[in-house]
C-alpha cells in the first residue's frame, strides 16, 4: 500500500517497534559486538563465520556461542 522508505519503518510497525526502540537495539548490538571484539583482541576468544552466515564465538574456557542478527545461542 505504501512504499517502503528504506528506513525499516514497515518492519518496525509489523512487530510494534518504534524508531527509538530500533535505535536502542542497534546501539545495544554495537556495544555487545565491541565487547566481543575486546575478547578476541585480548586472545581469550575466536570468531569464525559459519556457512549459514552466523558467527561462532569460541571462548578459551570452552564455551561456544552462535551469534546471528536476532540472538546469541550457547552451543557448549
Report residue 13 as a C-alpha cell: 510497525
Partnered with residue 74 across adjacent β-strands are 65
CA 39/CA 30 separation, integer angstroms: 14
**How is the chain split into domains, by residue range?**
9-74
Report field, pTM of the whole predicted structure over 0.85: no
Tens-digit pLDDT profile for residues 17-27? 566 667 778 88
Q: Which residues contact 18 (CB under 8 A, 6 or more apart)?
A: 12
pLDDT at residue 20 in the model: 61
Q: Are 29 and 14 in contact (CB under 8 A)?
A: no
Per-residue DSSP letter, 65: E
Tens-digit pLDDT profile for residues 7-62? 565 565 555 656 666 777 888 889 999 999 999 999 999 999 999 999 999 999 99
Give residue for cell 559459519: 50
Amino acid at each position: 500500500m505504501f512504499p517502503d522508505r528504506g528506513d525499516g519503518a514497515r518492519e518496525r510497525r509489523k512487530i510494534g517497534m518504534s524508531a527509538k526502540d530500533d535505535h536502542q537495539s542497534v546501539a545495544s548490538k554495537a556495544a555487545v559486538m565491541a565487547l566481543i571484539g575486546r575478547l578476541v583482541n585480548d586472545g581469550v576468544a575466536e570468531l569464525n563465520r559459519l556457512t549459514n552466515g552466523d558467527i561462532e564465538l569460541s571462548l578459551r574456557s570452552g564455551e561456544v556461542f552462535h551469534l546471528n542478527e536476532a540472538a546469541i545461542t550457547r552451543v557448549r
